[in-house]
Amino acid sequence: MRAFAYLIPFFFLLPFSFLFAQAAEGQLAFAFRSQGSLNPSRMIIVGDVVGVEKASYFEADKHKIAAELQVDTRPDTVTIKVQSDKGLRPGQTLYLLEKNSDHRTYRDGNIVGEITVKSVFKTTFFGWQVRGEGYLRLIEDRPVSAALPLDTTKYEEAVLFKKQGDYFVAKGKMDEAIRMYKKSISLDTKYPDSHFALGKVHWLDGEGYVSAANEFNLAWKNKERFSNQQEKMIFLLEYMRFLLYYYKIELKENPNTFKILPEVAKETRISDPKNFEAWLYSFEISFLQFKRASNMASGIDNRKEMERLREEAQSHLDKALSIKKSDYYLHKLACEFYHSRLKDATNDKERLDYRTKLIDHGKLLRIYNTGDSEIPDELLDAIRRAEKEAGLLR
């Protein structure tokens, strides 16, 4: 009795959240959508929420709305303490369960939020942790568990079959590689690494670009689940190259391609703002959009859109040049861009400016041309005319 009396003060000194933070990780939990729900979802407890704070950035397209409504639209950044990283990966959706104190194990409860896993990492003092983002207005300081829905996917097995596919690609055995990649996808249909790998094999086939387009599209839809950021970045760059290739192969208007190209370019720039190719392809995409808009019916809205795309293309070109100046393809696109602007110039100042830039990029185009690609005759003629008008040729 005396020993128990000594324990009472210590018991009351413990934080409330600690008393309920002993989640039985790896155990089955029943998650309810509402208080009156009779159809709970079966989930596995992965850990406990140990911190919730506002993300450090505003989403650019929502900033204006947030200011007007006087509401903070930033997502919440959630930190979860987990026992191990097994089965956890970026892109997953985790559900947050408010622990029900009527249950001895504190593992069943109502769903009070969901987050997308952004990173899984191990710290020296606190062990494995998960960081995710979501909108959590209701949990406040309540004890909350994080749970992973039970599903039929087999991620680890899917990774193994994908690696076997990579091995067969390295050996030049494409039929075997395709079989392994398809087996990987059958185990986890939303595993983007395998969709990307299978798409590349189809693209190498030369005639399989329609199948490649389908696989790349599935990888894009599940891009947040790539095994790591480097693989995601490689995919984004390859996807831009492919979409541009797809457009040129079709040689016809494709609204879907033009709709997704700017989205992929933006995602690539965000993923690695210092990547030269991200800005190079962004410039080409904006330039293609500008040419498409210039061929459409005239009108005030279309002229505004053309001007916006011109400014966007110029901005992307300037950024690419600031990273790397010794690229043949960049100068080729720049010559085409300034040639088109020279033809549309409305005054002497504009004509002088665009002609000078065409001449400058034309010189660099010749310097960095390795002979692997021929400069189109039409473009060479345009450069020579500009040089002759400037008095550089006789």
Q: List, for residues 89-98, the tens digit of each pLDDT value.
A: 888 889 888 8
Q: C-alpha 106: how far from its chain's center?
A: 36
pLDDT at position 143: 76
AA identity, residue 83: Q
Q: Which residues contact 75 (CB under 8 A, 6 or more apart)?
A: 54, 55, 133, 134, 135
Q: Quick one: pLDDT band at residue 137, thresholds 50, 70, 90?
A: low
Interval 298-304 mean pLDDT = 75
pLDDT at position 40: 75
Interval 17-22 mean pLDDT = 38
Q: List, for residues 24-34, the tens digit of each pLDDT value.
A: 456 777 787 76
pLDDT at position 193: 94
Interval 76-93 mean pLDDT = 83
DSSP three-state, residue 83: coil
Interval 349-357 mean pLDDT = 94
Question: Which range among 143-147, 228-232, 315-319 has the greatest average pLDDT?
Answer: 315-319
- Does the pLDDT of residue 256 top 70, yes or no? yes
Q: Quick one: pLDDT band at residue 103, thresholds 50, 70, 90?
A: low
pLDDT at position 78: 86
Between residues 147 and 279, the one the model is more confident about: 279
pLDDT at position 75: 79
Interval 188-195 mean pLDDT = 91
Q: Quick one: pLDDT band at residue 365, thresholds 50, 70, 90?
A: very high
- DSSP annotation string for 13-53: HS-HHHHT----TTSEEEEESSTT-S-PEEEEEEEEEEEEE
pLDDT at position 141: 64
pLDDT at position 153: 60
pLDDT at position 254: 65
Between residues 390 and 337, the one the model is more confident about: 337
% of the chain beyond a pLDDT of 90 = 40
Q: Which residues contact 239 (CB under 8 A, 6 or more apart)?
A: 216, 219, 220, 264
Nearest Cα neighbor of 211 from 225, 195, 190 is 195
Nearest Cα neighbor of 16 from 108, 81, 106 is 106
- Does the pLDDT of residue 119 top 60, yes or no? yes
pLDDT at position 2: 47
Interval 258-268 mean pLDDT = 91
- Does the pLDDT of residue 225 top 90, yes or no? no
Interval 57-73 mean pLDDT = 50
Q: C-alpha 31: how far from its chain's center?
A: 30
Q: Which residues contact 127 (CB under 8 A, 6 or more apart)?
A: 81, 82, 83
Q: Quick one: pLDDT band at residue 1, thresholds 50, 70, 90?
A: very low
d(CA 394, CA 392): 7
pTM score of the predicted model: 0.70
- Does the pLDDT of residue 327 top 80, yes or no? yes
Question: Which range among 197-201, 203-207, 224-228 has the greatest average pLDDT?
Answer: 197-201
d(CA 335, CA 238): 24
pLDDT at position 152: 54
- Does the pLDDT of residue 236 top 70, yes or no? yes
Q: Quick one: pLDDT band at residue 44, thresholds 50, 70, 90?
A: confident
pLDDT at position 297: 62
In 241-374 the beta strands, taken as DSSP E runs, fall at none
Secondary-structure breakdown of the chain: helix, strand, coil percentages, each rounded to the nearest 5: 55, 15, 30
Beta pairing partners, 65? none
Q: Quick one: pLDDT band at residue 38, thresholds 50, 70, 90?
A: low
pLDDT averaged over every residue in the chain:
81
